[in-house]
Amino acid sequence: MDGNIFEKILGQDCLFVDRRAFDHAFEPTRLPHRGHEVESLVRNLVDALNGHIPSNMLLYGVPGSGKTVVTRFVLGQLLDKGEEMGQSVETYEINCRNVDTKYRVVQTIASKLGRRGDTPIPFTGWPTDRVLEELISRMDRAGGVHIIVLDEIDNLVSRAGDGLLYNLTSLNTSLRNSRCCIIGISNDLNFTQQLDPRVTSRLSQEDLVFHPYGAPEIQDILSERVNTGLREDVIEEGVLELCSALAAQEHGDARRALDLLRISVQKAEQRSQKTVDRRHVRLAQSQLEYDQVTPVLKTLPLHQKLLVLAIKLNEDNGMRNISTGETYRTYSDACMKISVEALTPRRISSLLNELDTLGIIMARNVSKGRGGRSKQVNSAIPKGVDAISIMGESEPLIAEAALGRYNLQSQL
Ligand SMILES: Nc1ncnc2c1ncn2[C@@H]1O[C@H](COP(=O)(O)OP(=O)(O)OP(=O)(O)O)[C@@H](O)[C@H]1O
Ligand SMILES: [Mg+2]
């Protein structure tokens, strides 16, 4: 082989100027269409600079609506201003998906306040009350205002209950030389229903809802990133519109739009093309759909896989709105072919609900007259994804069941 194998690729024109602009962790300096949310946070948190205690806040909004990025931006500016004014402000951002126990949350915050000579707080092992006491004494030692952001707070509550929130929202009664404020972030609007009403009233002194972005708003967000991250004139007409429209359909998720755009550019690059057009967006969309649904299909338990198989077999035979009865018949047939005992119809009905929650199928209830109800199902797997093969690769029994002959109803 002539020369170094990296040479050819290295020499290729790159459409990106700065790929990092499309990273999930990128922190943009401008946040279009979030002026109101930024201002609400600023109005509250400015108290930290005036030596008062800001209210605790709860931020809500669908995934990708900018909750994390807006909060980080505001806290960054707050820290800068605090430093400039000589006001002691400390901020802590905890992602409760990763740090999901009371002990770990308190330990993480207290460790950030550690100084040389302090006894290190172990990751586990101390009684939680002792870690809490250590936190209080370290906060007081540092003085000033401490702002604790609990991102994806619903994860913490569903795993560990609301005990920690009770403790954290009462910290101000124990602190002598410092003050503390809690900002909770959630994409589950109903999460406060899991909380003790006393915790809710302390935590949600101010609520801030991030509405889902519409397509034109997403387009503005994308335009900003194009300016920072891509070479000039690589995006053809209609590309940003299409990315935004597709992401707006997905509950207005800016993350999805940025991913679509990034993958579209990569698709163009892989084909050594100098501009990105709508075909690249379509390719990117199928890849994203494929990447999203494949791991779910692969990891489904056997009986759910068999159910998906039953639905797909019926759909491949031209059926739509397949009744639960029909699904069950094909499913039991499949079970028989691989000598597995079929589950009861009642159990299957609840498995269908689970598949619906996972977004693999769409199930809807229809009334059957005389108060009777039944379910109709359709698969929600994108067209380009060969669900049966994917499931068959990860579970040989499915491959075996798929080979059998079925006596299927066809569409009337
Ligand atoms: N107004 C905006 N301007 C620029 N970028 C934005 C804006 N809103 C969101 N983004 C970008 O979209 C992506 C998703 O935003 P973010 O992570 O803040 O969403 P989120 O509401 O926290 O979602 P989740 O509930 O899933 O955590 C990030 O890459 C972020 O930079
Ligand atoms: Mg977030």
User: Domain containing 389 — which CATH number?
Assistant: 1.10.10.10
The whole-chain average pLDDT of the chain stands at 93
Element (H, E) at 234: none
State which ligand 1 atom lies nearest to the alpha carbon of 254: 12
Query: Both 61 and 188 in a single domain?
Result: yes
Tell me which ligand sits closest to the C-alpha of residue 24.
1
The rounded distance, in Å, linking the Cα atoms of 335 and 339 is 6
Query: Both 168 and 57 in a single domain?
Result: yes
> pLDDT per residue over 210-263, tens digit each?
999 999 999 999 999 999 999 999 999 999 999 999 999 988 999 999 999 999
Q: What is the pTM of this model?
A: 0.85
> Which band of pLDDT confidence, cut at 50, 70 and 90, is reported for residue 411?
low
Query: Both 46 and 185 in a single domain?
Result: yes
Query: Both 57 and 179 in a single domain?
Result: yes
Q: Once rounded to an integer, what is the mean pLDDT over residues 88-95?
A: 96
Query: Both 235 and 129 in a single domain?
Result: no
Listed residues 250, 268, 294: the one ending a domain: 294
Within-domain flag for 17: no
**Residue 173: CATH number of its domain:** 3.40.50.300
Lowest mean pLDDT among 185-194, 339-348, 396-405: 185-194
**Residue 239: CATH number of its domain:** 1.10.8.60
User: Does 412 score more than 70 pLDDT?
Assistant: no
User: Does 12 score more than 70 pLDDT?
Assistant: no
The rounded distance, in Å, linking the Cα atoms of 189 and 61 is 7
Query: Both 353 and 398 in a single domain?
Result: yes
Within-domain flag for 325: yes
Within-domain flag for 410: no
Query: Both 204 and 65 in a single domain?
Result: yes
> pLDDT per residue over 344-399, tens digit each?
999 999 999 999 999 899 998 887 776 677 789 999 998 889 999 999 999 999 99
**Does residue 131 contact residue 110 with C-beta atoms inside 8 Å?**
yes
CA of 277 to the centre of ligand 2 (A): 30
List of residues 6+ apart from 310 with CB closer than 8 A: 327, 328, 330, 331, 333, 334
Q: Helices 302-316 and 387-394 sit at what angle, rounded to 10 degrees?
A: 150
CA of 133 to the centre of ligand 2 (A): 30
Q: Give yes or no for residue 258 CB within 6 A of ligand 1.
A: yes
Element (H, E) at 2: none
Helix (H, G, I), strand (E, B) or coil at 239: helix
Query: Both 274 and 323 in a single domain?
Result: no
> pLDDT per residue over 297-333, tens digit each?
999 999 999 999 999 999 999 999 999 999 999 999 9
Within-domain flag for 319: yes
> pLDDT per residue over 68-77, tens digit each?
999 999 999 9
Ligand 1, atom 1: closest residue by C-alpha: 31
The pLDDT score that the predictor gives to residue 98 is 93
Listed residues 210, 241, 268: the one ending a domain: 210
CA of 95 to the centre of ligand 2 (A): 9
Listed residues 193, 210, 227: the one ending a domain: 210
The rounded distance, in Å, linking the Cα atoms of 90 and 248 is 36
Within-domain flag for 173: yes
Ligand 1: residue of 37, 68, 226, 250 to mutate (most ligand atoms within 8 A of CB) is 68
Structural domain span for residue 316: 300-403
Ligand 1, atom 8: closest residue by C-alpha: 66
Q: Give how far the C-alpha of residue 7 lies from the chain's centroid of Cα atoms, to the nearest Å.
A: 38
CA of 268 to the centre of ligand 1 (A): 25
* pLDDT > 70 fraction of the chain, expressed in percent and rounded: 98
Helix (H, G, I), strand (E, B) or coil at 77: helix
The pLDDT score that the predictor gives to residue 228 is 94
Within-domain flag for 6: no
The rounded distance, in Å, linking the Cα atoms of 30 and 17 is 18
Domain count, the chain: 3
Ligand 1: residue of 73, 226, 255, 260 to mutate (most ligand atoms within 8 A of CB) is 255
Q: Give yes or no for residue 212 CB within 6 A of ligand 1.
A: no
Query: Both 56 and 132 in a single domain?
Result: yes
Query: Both 273 and 310 in a single domain?
Result: no
Q: Give yes or no for residue 254 CB within 6 A of ligand 1.
A: yes
Lowest mean pLDDT among 8-12, 99-103, 269-273, 361-365: 8-12
Q: Give yes or no for residue 31 CB within 6 A of ligand 1.
A: yes
Tell me which ligand sits closest to the C-alpha of residue 59.
1
Please name the amino acid found at residue 246: L
Q: What are phi and psi of 258, to 5 degrees?
A: -65, -40
The rounded distance, in Å, linking the Cα atoms of 187 and 62 is 5
Q: Give yes or no for residue 153 CB within 6 A of ligand 1.
A: no
Query: Both 312 and 232 in a single domain?
Result: no
User: Does 19 score more than 60 pLDDT?
Assistant: yes
Within-domain flag for 39: yes
Tell me which ligand sits closest to the C-alpha of residue 154.
1
Within-domain flag for 12: no
Query: Both 73 and 184 in a single domain?
Result: yes
